[in-house]
Amino acid sequence: MPTGIYTLISSEFYGNYPLLAAALVLFSLPVLILYFVFQQQFIEGLTAGALKQ
């Protein structure tokens, strides 16, 4: 995905900010969806390493 964004920035689409913004939103959506689906497991994993037993 970062390679695709770099291609948009460095190609003939340079300066086409609406297209670049749309690409950034579309590339970030899968990450956000996965985070919200696995939010509980993500938080449990972060707090498991922070607690002493």
Q: Which residue has the higher pLDDT, 24 or 50?
A: 24
Residue 42 CB neighbours (<10 A)? 13
Give pLDDT, residue 26: 87
6-43 pLDDT, tens digit per residue, is: 776 666 666 777 877 888 888 889 999 999 999 999 88
Is the pLDDT at 53 greater than 90? The verdict is: no
Give pLDDT, residue 11: 64
Does the pTM surpass 0.85? The reply is no
Q: Which residue has the higher pLDDT, 3 or 22?
A: 22
SS3 per residue for 7-52: HHHHCCCCCCHHHHHHHHHHHHHHHHHHHHHCHHHHHHHHHHCCCC
Is residue 32 within 8 Å of residue 10, measured between CB atoms?
Answer: no
